[in-house]
Amino acid sequence: MTDELREPAAGAKAPPALPAAGLGRAMQRLVPGRSGMLGLAGLALLLSLWELSVHWLKVPSYVLPSIEDVLRSLAHGLFVSPADRTGYFLPLWSTLSNTAIGYVIGVALAIILGSLMAEFRAVEKLLMPYAFALQSLPKVAIAPLIVIWCGFGDSSKIAMSALLTFFPVLVNTFAGIQATDPSRLDLMASLSATRLETYWNVKLPSAAPFIFAGLEMGIVYALLGTIVAEYLGAQQGIGVTIMQAEAVTDVPTVFAVLVILGFVGVGMHLAISAIKRKVVHW
């Protein structure tokens, strides 16, 4: 059972092979200037097809709104006072702050527990079966339970964000520490270093590239978790904005919010990547 859980993380040895890292590269390709004109040309083609299908194929606006309508919704939500209740800033702030709080909690718990599991065989034996069972369970399916436990306020969103962040970071921390180069452990042993000294000076830094691969996956999941919790009945948040627009068949607003979420997702991923380059500088 333990080996099966190790397996997905074993791929983390080569971070580019990870789904999340691949996603990251794909996202970066969408940012103009990074891989240049080809990406922009693709975007232009996509937008043209969209516009053509709306105007010529007469796709109804509740299926596919015109670009113009989406842009109008975007402008309506963005060019208002940040305090305007009909704008996007208040719900976006709510969603992002809950995502961030949950992310930090999930990451902290995952690194602590992942480290304990890697350091102490007993902790691994105790927790690994549960970690594996929860890992296999679609965590979105737990969301209704979380809402029952934590209510319709921020806490259930934070809990979902933390829950979805937790697993990729846990598994990568565990695998990263276990993959520490044995010659580095010999070195620390020859210096009579204590277990804690070896952990801080060698094991944790050695695991850093693995942990960051988990952090990059985790941030995408954190946003997903928050929005799922918002769908299940919250008072505020960008998920609520989508649900409200959907209720009145305001499809342009749904599209506009999805565009914003796309940019937010790319932005968060790039931010984690930037921190990774700063921390894992070797």
Q: Are 70 and 259 in contact (CB under 8 A)?
A: yes
Count of chain residues binding other proteins (CB under 8 A): 21
Min dist. Cβ of residue 181 to other proteins (A): 8
**List 47, 191, 274, 275, residue binding other proteins (CB under 8 A):** 191
DSSP assignment of 113-145 equals HHHHHHH-HHHHHHHHHHHHHHHHS-GGGGHHH
Angstrom CA distances, 98 to 23, 155, 158, 220, stand at 23, 8, 5, 13
Q: Which of residues 152-181 bind other proteins (CB under 8 A)?
A: 181
**List 101, 202, 213, 266, residue binding other proteins (CB under 8 A):** 202
- The H-assigned helical ranges of the chain are 2-10, 19-30, 37-55, 67-78, 89-119, 121-136, 143-150, 154-178, 182-190, 195-198, 204-231, 238-247, 251-279
Min dist. Cβ of residue 120 to other proteins (A): 20
**List 60, 190, 247, 248, residue binding other proteins (CB under 8 A):** 190
189 binds other proteins per the rule CB under 8 A: yes
Q: Are 220 and 23 in contact (CB under 8 A)?
A: yes
201 binds other proteins per the rule CB under 8 A: yes
Min dist. Cβ of residue 10 to other proteins (A): 21
Residue recorded with tokens 């596919």: 64
187 binds other proteins per the rule CB under 8 A: yes
278 binds other proteins per the rule CB under 8 A: no
13 binds other proteins per the rule CB under 8 A: no
Interface contacts to other proteins, rule CB under 8 A = 181, 183-184, 186-194, 197-198, 201-202, 205, 208, 280-282
